[in-house]
Structure 1
Amino acid sequence: MSIPLVRNPGEGTIFKYYDRVQEQVVSNSETQGAVSVVRVTMRQADAPPLHTHSREDESWVVLSGRVRFWVGSASLDECEIHDAEAGAYVFGPRFVPHTCRPLSKTADLLVINNPGAVEGYFRSIGPADAPHDLDHADLMVQYGLTVLAGPPPA
């Protein structure tokens, strides 16, 4: 059974995903699979490839900085572009292509996945010197992730 909780910055579990440190604010296991929340400081070089999730909706809360989101198409050139500033909430429903990149040098985000099982993907990747998303195609399939294009331009 999941329990109510309050978790302040720094009170979650810290883990490495590629070359960045992330904080697992709320885990899938703590919420009986309902949600997973990660706090991340994202650099411009950390932009993920354009992708979809087939099993969960994804939301972002911009805590600091400015972040550009590409959404809605399998091609970056055809995506809608939205800029989000500190305090913004962004929702990405499952099956809708999306990616993002900070416009500022860095941006602090809460990344929320409902349900939360995709956190297993990030934990399975673990530490590495740089992102190699396409090297993990089998793992992506296991977690319902599909890469459609590379990351957005800087």
Structure 2
Amino acid sequence: MSEEPTAEPFVKAVDEGDTYHALGGLALLKATADETDGSFNLVERRGDENRVVTPLHVHRSDDELWYVLDGEMELFIDGELLSAEPGDTAFAPQNVPHALRIAADGTRYLVLRTPGNKSLFGAVGTSVDEVTVPTDGPDDAERDRLDTFVENSDVEILGPPPFDL
């Protein structure tokens, strides 16, 4: 017999959710694995051009999907450089190398990870009360937390960001 779900219905307002300055941008947690019985994580990210740039990496047990609300992103997925603008959706299944970069100031996008095993932003970022995009970071302490997160997760860093910066 299957286990009874423990997730509760909820609605989070526009700027509601745990909020972090993380990896050069704002992370607003809209639905966490704890809230969805481990089904997925949904995070709204906000940032400015070249402030959020990830290394080439792969998730071994999570699929990742991005939906652009405002601005522009560049994605490098499985060796192909792609651009995504408002209304565009991009997807990288588990075990597919990928990286992303915010390519315009004021960019907002949603990132959905399924099954959403661990929260990168809560583990690496700094909790903040105001929903604002950071003007600095990441600092050495945040980079150390990222290294620890990667060592204890399904994420593997494959190389530097594959973008012309």
TM-score (norm 2): 0.79
TM-align CA RMSD: 2.1
More strand by share: 1
More helix by share: 1
- 48, 52, 60: which one aligns with 1:46: 52
User: Which has the greater radius of gyration?
Assistant: 2
- 1:68-87 equivalent positions in 2, closer than 5 A: 68-72=74-78, 79-87=79-87
Task: Tell me which residue corresponds to 1:76.
Answer: none
User: May I ask how many residue pairs the two structures share in their alignment?
Assistant: 147
Change in 2 beyond 3 A, CA 1:85/1:19: closer
Distance in 2 between residues matched to 1:5 and 1:86, nearest whole Å = 26
Identity in percent: 25
Task: Tell me which residue corresponds to 2:133.
Answer: none
Q: 39-48 or 63-72, which moves further after superposition?
A: 39-48
Q: What do the CA deviations read for 1:32-85 (whole angstroms, capped 9, x no partner)? A: 00010111113222111110001100000100011111111xxxxxx2111111
List gaps (5 residues or longer) in structure 1: 73-78
Q: What do the CA deviations read for 1:75-101 (whole angstroms, capped 9, x no partner)? A: xxxx21111110111111011011111
Q: CA deviation at 1:153?
A: 2.4
Q: What do the CA deviations read for 1:84-133 (whole angstroms, capped 9, x no partner)? A: 110111111011011111222231011111011231x3212123832668
Task: Tell me which residue corresponds to 2:114.
Answer: 114
Contact 2:67–2:88 (Cα < 8 Å) also in 1: yes
Contact 1:42–1:109 (Cα < 8 Å) also in 2: no
Q: CA deviation at 1:19?
A: 4.8
TM-score (norm 1): 0.84
